[in-house]
Amino acid sequence: MSVPTPVEEFARAKVNLSLEVLGRRGDGYHELQSLVVFPDIGDRVTARAADDFSLTLEGPFAGALKQEDDNLVLRAARLLARETGRPGANLVLHKNLPVASGIGGGSADAAATLRALARLWGVRIEAHMPASLAFTLGADVPVCLDSRPAFMWARGERVARLAGLPPFALLLVNPGVAVSTAAVFKALAAPALAEMPAVVERPAFATLDGLLEWLAAHGNDLEAPARSLAPEIGDVLAAIGATKGCRLARMSGSGATCFGIYATENDAQAGADAVAGAHPAWWTAASAVSGCIQL
């Protein structure tokens, strides 16, 4: 019997261009609204057929995960196996993204694992992994399953894909500081939600200027509390904002990774070179944003 060919999936970073916290819900979760995109920067998950599950960690940030007893990759794999009745797999996670950095690395890895195993086992994710079930792995897993520009709301499980965004590029910078999402939300101390918001209308942008105008009115509510816990975030934002061609500098998610928006990938890479030259200890990466289509 032939052995199935190993399957590899790219786990793109998830960047919150905006993240608004509308309030704390009665169930303890926060009601959110966020515009998210996925640059061509991320981890890689490889799956090979096996009778049981195993996980090998590789890459520059693998060490940060080696003390975890219940890695999200294994949790995702076991969940899909239980739903499909399939056997195990040998999994390899090549960890290129900083851990606990506000760019959805763990969720992206879980989503990539589900996609890889679906291909390896010949099953359809849609038939076995509805958003409500994927959400049990993490609030960002549903939006990471498709890894295309989207507007997400509620607790994060409601996702509307955007028909298109104007092409642009991102510079990502992390100062090497891990920030606890729970601590950031605690510092935010969001008030109780008085009433559920009205039906969300997904935004649309014909130009980069239009996107930037929208973002100017829709910020990241977690940035201020994150900066109070990790002042280095302010230094990162200043460094990005000082680069040539940067149209907007902002924090992603709950931090500490920050991003800069640029019109072209060349401009973003020049920004990365400038920041890395001035701050060689910081992690930097630049790329175009995946899934952007000029309308």
Which residues are part of the catalytic machinery? 14, 140
What's the burial of 234, exposed, middle or buried (CB within 10 Å: 0-12/13-18/19+)? middle
Runs of H (alpha helix) within the chain = 72-84, 105-121, 125-128, 131-134, 141-146, 181-188, 208-217, 223-229, 232-241, 265-278
Spatial strand order in the sheet of 89-94: 7-12, 42-49, 89-94, 54-58
Residues contacting 148, CB < 8 A, separation 6+: 38, 161, 162, 290, 291
| Tokens read off for 210 | 């239009």
Residues contacting 217, CB < 8 A, separation 6+: none
- What angle is formed at CA 10 by the lines to CA 81 and CA 240, rounded to 5 degrees? 135
The owner of tokens 């032939």 is 2
The owner of tokens 């201020």 is 224
Give the helix/strand (H/E) hosting 64: none
The owner of tokens 């704390």 is 24
| Tokens read off for 221 | 């509510």
Q: How far apart are CA 284 and CA 174, in angstroms?
A: 7
